[in-house]
Structure 1
Amino acid sequence: MIYRIEAFDQKTELLVFEAQLPGGCDDQIAAVMGWTTEQQGWEGYDLTSDQIAALEKLLGRTVFDPTYLFQLSCNVN
């Protein structure tokens, strides 16, 4: 599964940027998101600031900016 943090402009809702999380982090991502079942590969989830902070640790860099809306997308390889 490929997971991406996606940032959207709050006014236009257009995608501004995305950051792909490293492979092999499925269990850590599931814990951050509170998932109890495996993802199918088409989902998208709104992120809270706490979830973004936890995912940034996996990503290895800061992406949060209060001017954007954030989602986590799940995609099949």
Structure 2
Amino acid sequence: MKYIVEAFDRSSEFLAFEVELPENCDVRLKQIMGWTAPQRGDEGYDLSPSQAAAIEALVGKEFYDDDHIFQLTCNVD
């Protein structure tokens, strides 16, 4: 599974940037997101500030701000 955080501009709702998550982060991401079922590969989730902060720690990069709407997408490789 490939996971990507997408940041959308709050005003225009256009995609501003993406952050690709590292491979093999499924177990940690399951904890962060509170998933109880396996992902199919076509899901998208709005991220709360606390979820975004945990994902920032996972990827080792700060990206969260109030100017964007953040979503996590799950994609089949």
**Aligning the two structures, in what range does the TM-score lie when normalised by the shorter sequence?**
over 0.9
Unaligned 5+ runs, structure 1: none
Quick check: 1:37 aligned with 2:41?
A: no
CA distance in 2, matches of 1:10, 1:19: 17
The superposition leaves residues 14-42 of structure 1 with CA deviations (integer Å, 9 ceiling, x where unpaired) of 10000000001101001000001100001
1:63 CA drift (Å)? 0.5
1:67 CA drift (Å)? 0.4
- 2:47 maps to 47
Percent identity between the two aligned chains:
49
Moved over 2 A (4+): none
1:11 CA drift (Å)? 1.3
Quick check: 1:20 aligned with 2:23?
A: no
When the two structures are superposed, what TM-score results if normalisation uses the length of structure 1? 0.98
Unaligned 5+ runs, structure 2: none
When the two structures are superposed, what TM-score results if normalisation uses the length of structure 2? 0.98
Aligned length: 77
Q: CA RMSD in A?
A: 0.5
- 1:57 maps to 57
